[in-house]
Amino acid sequence: MRRCFLLVLPLMFLLAACMSDGRRFTPEAWRQVDQFERNAFTADLIGRRLLIGKKWHEVNQMLGPGRTLGQEASTWNVALDKDTGAPVVLQVDFRDGIAYRAKVHRE
């Protein structure tokens, strides 16, 4: 059983690498790309939970100003849907001014 796990583990890492282009989020890299080409960073942002637990102003320092949807959420454009042309956004949800969830969806 242990041998099977050791054989499967490298395949899991290879599959994860294929699903992402390997771009790690940094505020500088985020700001350097067009707003509709930022989707490459969303898996890293969400996977490493970089925004979770941050205050609203800290998230805005990292990502720049987004669209504020009341006190509960903000969004940032990250891509355009290839089929419809609709914006794809990163949405960060806040509770008591603290980020508790980040997700990507089409508007």
13-54, pLDDT tens digit by residue? 333 333 445 589 999 999 999 999 999 999 999 999 999 999
Q: What is the mean pLDDT of the chain?
A: 85
**pLDDT > 50? residue 89:** yes
Q: Alpha-carbon distance 56 to 102, whole Å?
A: 13
Alpha helices in 1-107 (DSSP H): 2-19, 27-32, 39-47, 56-63
**pLDDT > 90? residue 12:** no
pLDDT value of residue 65: 93
pTM, to two decimals? 0.78
pLDDT value of residue 23: 86
Backbone Cα Rg of the chain:
16
Per the CB < 8 A criterion, the answer to whether 29 and 23 are in contact is yes
Arithmetic mean of pLDDT, 70-92: 96
pLDDT value of residue 1: 53
